[in-house]
Structure 1
Amino acid sequence: MAATPGVRFYITERGTEVQYFYELVKSQAGFPFKAFIHSVDRLKMRWHNELEIILVLQGSIQVRIGNEPYVLHENDLLLINSNEIHSIGRTSHDNILLVLQINPDYYSFYHSKFNKMIFNCKSFLFKGEEQERFDLVRHYLAKVIWELDKKKTGYQFIVGSEIHLLAACLVKHFEYSLLEDEQAMNVNKDIGRIKSILKYIEENSGRQVSLKEIADHHQINQYYLSHFIKKKMGMSFQEYLNYIRLDKAINLLLSSNKLITEISYASGFPSIKSFNRRFKNMYGCSPTEYKKANTRKFHDRHQLGEEYIAKRGKTYLDVDRSTIFKRLFTYLKLPDSGMPNAFRQARISIDAQRKGRPYQPYWKKLITYTRASEGLRKGWQNQLTELQREIGFEYIRFHGIFSDDMMVCNVEEGGKGTYNWSYVDELFDFFQEVKIKPFIELGTKSQQRDLQSWLNLVTAFLKHCINRYGVKEVETWYFEVWNESEAGVAFWLGGKESYFSFYKQTMLAVKAVADRCKVGGPAISYQNPVPGSWLADFLAYCSQNSLALDFVALHIHPECYTSFDKNLTYDTLNSIHKKIKELLDHQPEVHITEWNTSAFSRNLIHDTCFVSTYIISNVVKCLGKTHSLGYWTFTDINEAYQAGISAFHGGFGLMNQQGLKKASYFAYYLLGKLGEEIMQQDDDYIVTKKDEAVQILMYNYAYFDELFLQGDTSALTHQERYLVFEAKPAKEIALTISGLAGHYKITRYSLNREHGSVFDAWVRMGAPEHMTQEELSYLKGKVHPQVSVAYLELTGDYQAKLAVPVHGVELITVEKLVI
């Protein structure tokens, strides 16, 4: 076979070691990577700063990374991280490898943490559809080799783009951990130490060198050195010493006419018996048999070099060029499923017998709606009844208990004012009927001009409620003084000092009637930059004036006041607690009495499946941070704004105007199935337990993309509402529950765009407006999380693999049965 332009064969010598390569492509000057195809023969310990990706094109190899040994076969893919000590050697089969080495420091210019990422990329650990993301890597590797070999005009740019796509693929679709600066320093220190140790071993392998001698030379403890070598190299000192001696013996065996006994002692073995035994264990034959089988091949290669390889037949060192590219062709086509369907891997392991910490479902404390009078409507009451039956919240918060449409304040002839509590009673009686308590915002649509009239109204209201429902019941209610007084003319006139005084007088009026009633404020939008130090000043005012403050009430509306932030809720709660600790000598309850993905009642995002993962992610992350997180609101029936024209107009609600349950509703439905103890939690799952039952709630939360965060909403339309989110793949979770014994019922709930998202079902239906009863009934009957049930007899572990799509939620409950 004639040598081909762009393809070079070469032999290099390093002392007694001879390395043979079939190099298809030599690295190009200026490129931050090296790409080549070669074969490996004998084992060699290696480490380097570059990430190294190995794809086996033919045959098999053995690889050891630290303590972990692997055998790779044809089509297997492995990524070796920067400065991981590893060795690569042949098995009994010949091999051809495609290798790409990437300088991680170069790509840190584009991704600041790239050179600190430790990837988990081993294709041979996965099967079936799990190979899709590895096929992407194989594709980019093949493209790089293909373009480098063809060298068409502008190939440098194409190759560069393929390498960038490969780097993006690794970051997006593979698990990784970040190496901290201190860890990196330790790694570099370890590399320097192991390099010095190996050099000393190799230089002294021909005599009876001992572990103690090496420890003394490096001034370290012998016991520590033994464990250090084993940990870093995956083999003991003696194993490595024998490996070095055998490698030296192979060279002497093939390149000299020395007797086996001479080679044995020259290589450092203490006896011919020891040499023969270890040689046979390593190579499966005696030294004499090995010499007979390989001496001719060694001398031919060494003496004839490229001329020999060009004339030889097909061996692992001189594979026909067409054979290599035939294999590469299978990778050049990008998989049809493409990147969006690739998987991220995660593992959850739980011991069912382990005790957990108490779990308080604080999210059930509070739900909200807009105006008190809406609660008098039949459709509204039907929705709350269903919500309470399926989920069951403890309190409900709303505006306008004294607003004109509740007809509380009446002026009789002669100017005398009277109170009519009929609508209030009807509303509160209904609350008792569905087992929910009022969280009352004491306010009206407009500010009261006469403070004394306001205080009289509050006092009369409290006395009426106590007379009707009993003082013990009313003392369990919450009374929130006004709403968003920081918003200025829309809700309050006079500034914060005026509000502080108003809070004081209202609180004293409530406490004068029933001292145990819980009163709080200031119910401002905390992230609003306009009021500045409003909360801090309010807390300081209460402290300085010794005012009762049973709870701090605030609103969090991400996307309000340009405060888009994935961690806004969590960070805000931490900030609130910090201010309370600084300014108060007691710890009042904290209630977020309005909370949603947005402050805009026509935000099309509200109807999407995204909100389900937004709710669950924040609820789980904020455990222990607040006493309530009142979702704003439970229904789209909302008289504070004009009615939405479309069935899915972006209203706040968990249910739309017609009572169709959105994906956000089912987020709470699934949260309601969690147990009483938290056994484990992380950024994308929580595991709970109740008695002998275990519940695992998993979710794949994706936030908005950068373009949307910067204010570009052009990708958000009436029917297409998912193009504004960050691109994330499905997440595959390997679940293991140990400590099980008996008969179990396994129930799985799947909430995603295909199951449980009424908006997506409506779009698939054709997005009909002004739906008929038939169309509404169809959607009501069809849209629910998918439920599957299995009955198993288990002894030991329950294992399952789940693919959680982006914006998707999975719940598995494991209940022990009495048989």
Structure 2
Amino acid sequence: MELEDGRIGRIELITSDKHLYLDRGLTIFYVVSGQVTFSYLGQAKSVKQGELFVQQSALEVEIMLAKAQLVMISLQADFTDIFNLNKLIISCASQDSKRVEYQHLVNLVQALIDYVSVDSANYQANIAYGKVIEIIQYLSANFSKQLLSKQLQIRDVIEYLRLNYNQALDLVEVAKHFGVSPQYLSKFFKAKHGNNFNQELTDIRLYNAARQLVNEDKGIIDVAYDSGFNSIATFNRAFKKHYQMTPANYRLSHQNKVSVVPVEQTKHSLVLLAAANKREVLTVNANDKQEPLVLPRQVYLDSNPTKQTLTLLAKLGIERVVVTIPPITNLDAFLYSFNQQIDPLLRAGYALVLAFATPSLNYLQEILRYFINLIGIENVAKWQVQIDLQAYQEIPKLNKILGEFKLDQGLVIAGRYRQLKALSAKLVPLKVMIKLYSVSGTKADTLAKVKSLKALGYQKLGVVLHGFFEANLKVLNDTEYLGVDLVAQILALQGKVDFIEAPKLYDDLQPKLVAGQMGLATSNGLLKAAYYALRLLNKVDPNLVYVDKKTIVTKDSVGNYNLTLLNQQPILNQQVLIDYQNYPEILATQTRKVTIRLRGLVNGQYRLKKRIVSRHTGNLIKVWGQLGFIQQHLTVSEGRYLAHKTLPDIFIKELAVADNTAVFELELAANELVSLHLIKLY
């Protein structure tokens, strides 16, 4: 496809091995799939999927694809000279892939490819032009150096000749540019390169002339002047000496050579590029039913519940609240203060998980009797008692006590993986509920631990979702990444655990938002992206239609559907402490493009609502500022965080279903969570 009728360049898909003659403008290769080998100037370079290979010199290149796909963006030299690229060396290769700037450049290139892949009816040249300029400017700012140095380098001189051969160059002009004398440059060039300066410049000009003779329809005199020769006689004499034939005969002898324009270019470029711009296709039958989705229905609370706390618990769909029972010295005093603490939870109807560090059998009985008298045995029977592994010897006695109070299934043993593994021979026969603490590591680590414990014989198993701490990843845990990661953990655990516990509701009492606390809200009431992520997930309907590691589809009783999709991407460099401005660039951002076909719908008119958790949709600081009560409690760091955070946004559109199928096309940014709600109108 030509960009502005070829004035600024072209973009094309390459699917087979090619022999290319590159111009001195700017050529950007993006490997869509597989691995591509570039051979040039006696060397070979391999470039993998998702990586770039950038060249700005007039160059002859062999490209070997081996079933790979490659997009080539070639920008005209007359266009790139406007941005003074002929005065710069652009250096961008796969070895730069760990740089934040490299990944952002990849994103810019992908955005251009994505845009020109759309239907031609929607294509606008000025938008594509703007994306090209953004790429050029970013390359110039982050991947270039001036072709002018106090320490003269032979490769810089040759690169300068390759980029400016069409100008009126001579030894004096180039020496002046590099700040040396003509005599010094002449000796330096011969010593470092072997060829003398004038002959190297002539060879570069002849190479470019040969490229134009093969690939372009220009007259021979135009080729001569465009290649930097000042007369046709000089050009003919130099060309015949180098190639042993006249320029006209050279053109005739190479008429059957592969041109810079691939065969595919004769077809519709947009269609070809769309093939490279692959999109997931997910087909779901709207009437399918699977096992119920296991969601986080309990959470740890280490502070007295306020009215806001109860609101958060309700919005998260929490059914059980884990509360700590401290060592008891005076039972009456404890019961009085504990009742005061949990009274709001009891009034709201929440079941409790009493987490004992050092359980006392007598005190447990007294506590249960006290609350049975207060709220009734039918309510206390919904409670659970959680003990640490250190007290596993007391399990038979505890089970007997719990049976008396109709808590037969109410004992939970909490521990870490190594402890549970070491004690499996003693715990497995007891058939108790096991809660695995998984406060660090990755999804893969958690899944491996769950599978291992299942293999050891543990049957009833729950997991506490982990968050991040400053100590392990040195990143902000309360960005979009944690929200999407929590949902990814939940989906990965489906069918493998009996219950899931959310990270604790609040951070520590000291507001350390930037330090990497794992709560869903700060101690002073600031809601984080992780909270909104679980809030969206809690809105799914009770009938599960489809679930995989990235998508949930559910159906309600009246025929409305909820689709939750996520695009989790890893942190690119775990050693970089993310600041608020460059967080999107730190991520290994890969846009998730997905087409969802929901089949088996009732024909009619529907409304589609879309909610997202993303940095693109709003500004929390304005919201909290309007509320007033929170702003005075914010730290400076929290204020900076809020200035770049967002609330879930909503977008509504109408659509008609005539063939019992609704089709949704989505593009999710890295670490974006989207909830679609399809409502039947009539």
1:288-303 matches, cutoff 5 A: none
Structure 2 residue aligned with 1:571, among 448, 451, 457? 448
Tell which structure's C-alpha radius of gyration is larger: 1
Aligned equivalent of 2:479: 608
Distance 2:378 2:465 in 1: 27
Name which of 447, 460, 482 aligns with 2:366. Answer: 460
Matches within 5 A, 1:476-555: 476-482=382-388, 499-514=391-406, 516-521=408-413, 523-526=414-417, 532=418, 534-543=419-428, 547=430, 549-555=431-437
Out of 557, 565, 573, the position equivalent to 2:439 is: 557
Rounded to whole Å, the distance in 2 between the matches of 1:756 and 1:457 is: 51
Instruction: Describe the superposition over 1:397-446 as per-residue Cα deviations: whole angstroms up to 9, x where unpaired.
Output: 122x2456xxxx42xxxxxx756523333444422332321011123xxx
Q: 1:470 & 1:601 partners in 2: Cα distance? A: 45
| Cα RMSD after superposing both structures | 5.3
- 1:742–1:816 Cα contact (<8 Å) kept: yes
- List gaps (5 residues or longer) in structure 1: 1-19, 39-46, 59-106, 112-118, 144-151, 159-303, 328-342, 411-416, 449-453, 486-495, 527-531, 559-563, 582-586
On the 8 A contact 2:567/2:671 being kept in 1, the answer is yes
Contact 1:359/1:676 (8 A) holds in 2: yes
In structure 2, the residue matched to 1:580 is: 457
User: Is 1:685 paired with 2:551?
Assistant: yes
Post-superposition shift, 1:738?
Answer: 4.0
Work out whether residues 475 and 516 of structure 2, in 8 Å CA contact, stay in contact via their aligned partners in 1. Answer: yes
Does residue 398 in structure 1 map to residue 304 in structure 2?
no
The residue aligned with 1:215 is none
Against the structure 1 CA distance between its residues 353 and 565, is the aligned structure 2 distance closer, same or farther, given a 3 Å change threshold? closer
Q: Structure 1 residues 663 and 755 mapped into 2: Cα distance closer, same or farther (>3 Å)? A: farther
The equivalent of 1:652 in structure 2 is 518
Gaps of 5+ in 2: 1-17, 24-38, 47-52, 76-93, 99-109, 141-152, 160-243, 266-275
Where in structure 2 are the equivalents of 1:233-244 lying within 5 Å?
A: none
2:290–2:546: 8 Å Cα contact kept in structure 1?
A: no
Question: Counterpart amino acid of 1:749?
Answer: R
| Partner Cα separation in structure 1 for residue 156 and residue 67 of structure 2 | 23
Which of 597, 615, 621 does residue 492 from structure 2 map onto?
621
How much has 1:461 moved relative to structure 2?
1.3
Report deviation, 1:357: 1.3
Query: Does residue 383 in structure 1 map to residue 308 in structure 2?
Result: yes
CA shift in 2, pair 1:54/1:556, >3 Å: closer
- Matching residue within 571, 582, 595 for 1:704: 571
1:667 partnered with 2:533: yes
After TM superposition, list the pairs within 5 Å mapping 1:341-352 onto structure 2.
Answer: 346-352=279-285
SS of alignment partner, residue 569 of structure 1: helix
Match of 2:155 in 1: 154
> 2: distance between equivalents of 1:471 and 1:785?
41
The one-letter amino acid of 2:677's match is T
Identity of aligned residues (%): 14
In structure 2, C-alpha distance between the alignment counterparts of 1:597 and 1:157, rounded to whole Å: 50
Q: Look up the SS of the partner of 1:793 in the other structure.
A: strand
The match for 1:167 is none
Q: Give the match for residue 593 of structure 2.
A: 732
Tell me which amino acid in the other structure corresponds to 2:336: S
Q: How much does 1:467 deviate? A: 2.6
Partner of 1:270: none
Asked if structure 1 preserves the Cα contact closer than 8 Å seen for 2:476 and 2:515, the reply is: no
State the shift of 1:761 in Å.
8.5
Distance 1:507 1:442, change over 3 A: farther
Equivalent-residue separation in structure 2 for 1:567 and 1:757 (angstroms): 33
Contact 1:754 1:761 in 2 (8 A): no
- Asked if residue 744 in structure 1 is aligned to residue 606 in structure 2, the reply is yes
2:14 maps to none
Cα–Cα, structure 1 residues 49 and 733, in superposed 2: closer, same or farther, change >3 Å? closer
Q: Using the alignment, how far apart are the partners of 1:51 and 1:783 within structure 2? A: 39
Which of 298, 305, 317 pairs up with 1:366? 298
Q: Return the TM-score normalized by structure 2.
A: 0.58
Q: Which residue does the alignment assign to 1:754?
A: 616
Matched residue count: 484
Distance 1:602 1:54, change over 3 A: closer
Match of 1:439 in 2: 353
Distance 1:153 1:464 in 2: 88
Conserved? CA contact 2:402–2:408, under 8 Å: no
Partner Cα separation in structure 1 for residue 654 and residue 68 of structure 2: 46
- 1:669/1:309 CA distance change after superposition, 3 Å: farther
Q: Secondary structure at the match of 1:567?
A: helix
- The alignment status of 1:676 with 2:542, answered yes or no, reads yes
Q: Secondary structure at the match of 1:31?
A: strand
SS of alignment partner, residue 607 of structure 1: coil
For 2:463, the equivalent position in structure 1 comes to 592
Answer yes or no: is the 8 Å Cα contact 1:396–1:437 preserved in 2: yes
Alignment partners' CA distance in 2, 1:354 and 1:666? 28
Cα deviation, residue 762, structure 1 = 8.4
| Stretch of structure 1 that moved more, 808-817 or 470-479 | 470-479
Cα distance between partner residues in 1 of 2:613 and 2:456: 38
Counterparts of 2:524 and 2:497, CA distance in 1: 32
TM-score (ref. length: structure 1): 0.49
Shift in Å, 1:798 = 3.4
1:814 maps onto 2:678 in alignment: yes
Tell me, yes or no, if the aligned pair for 1:755 and 1:786 is still in contact at 8 Å. yes
After TM superposition, give the deviation of residue 811 of structure 1 in Å.
1.2
Whether the aligned pair in 1 keeps the contact of 2:553 and 2:561 (CA below 8 Å) is yes
Query: For 1:21 and 1:520, how far apart are their aligned partners in 2?
Result: 68
**Could you tell me how far apart the structure 1 residues matched to 2:316 and 2:392 are?**
37
Correspondence 1:321-360 to 2 at 5 A: 346-360=279-293
How big is each residue's C-alpha offset from its partner over 1:701-759, in whole Å with a ceiling of 9 and x where there is no partner?
Answer: 122335x2xxx46x245x56837954213333334434441011210102112337848
Alpha-carbon separation, structure 1, partners of 2:130 and 2:456: 47
Inter-partner Cα distance in structure 2 for 1:503 and 1:721: 52
1:722-801 superposed matches below 5 A:
722=583, 725-740=586-601, 741-755=603-617, 758=620, 770-771=633-634, 784-796=647-659, 797-801=661-665
The 5-angstrom pairing of residues 168-317 of structure 1 reads 308-309=248-249
Q: Structure 1 residues 602, 760: closer, same or farther in 2, change over 3 A?
A: farther
Q: Is the 8 A contact 2:482 2:529 kept in 1?
A: yes
Q: Which of residues 425, 431, 456 is equivalent to 2:339?
A: 425
Q: Secondary structure at the match of 1:813?
A: strand
1:225-276 CA-to-partner distances (Å, cap 9, x unmatched) read xxxxxxxxxxxxxxxxxxxxxxxxxxxxxxxxxxxxxxxxxxxxxxxxxxxx
Alpha carbons 1:396, 1:438 under 8 Å: kept: yes
Work out the CA distance in 1 between the residues paired with 2:257 and 2:422: 79
